[in-house]
Structure 1
Amino acid sequence: MQKRFPWHLLFALTSQRLGWSPQTIWAATPKEIVMALFLPIAREPKMNRKDFDLLCEAFPDLKVPHGHRVIGATSVPAKQTELERERERHG
């Protein structure tokens, strides 16, 4: 006599442990299910204040002069809008 596959366990594990919907479970391959269930989930520790400050020092915010805009990694003069031209004309 052939043993039946424990579908109820598969659904319980994937829906409860992984939060998968039935559609996701049925669409997944057996290999994807095994990998999702048994590979450890890498959890990076949250960044502390010291590491954040070091990151800010290494990559400071780009200082953008008034009237400029950022394109890529540089700032360039922004085109004057009609409203800005009116303000300059009428003070």
Structure 2
Amino acid sequence: MKRGQSKNQAVPWHDLVHKACRELGWSPHTFWQSTLVELEMAFTPPGTRNARTITRGVLEGLLAQFPDKEDQQTP
């Protein structure tokens, strides 16, 4: 899947399912439960940065702005 792909172009589902099952070891159920963003992340090589990658500073800022609530923490 490439950014800017025309909406008229069909998504190559067969190829994506095959790649997810063979290369990632996913079951068909796992594949069909995933979102397109999750698929993109799974197929992106480790260490590759893209426009959606956030920095540690951004993550820390979000954690400070939206802290976990005490009653939602697990022991």
For the aligned pair, the TM-score class normalised by the smaller chain equals 0.3 to 0.5
Which entry has the higher C-alpha Rg, 1 or 2?
1
Give TM-score scaled by structure 2 length: 0.47
Quick check: which one's strand share is greater?
A: 1
Which fold has the larger relative contact order, with Cα–Cα distance below 8 Å and residues 6 or more apart in sequence?
2
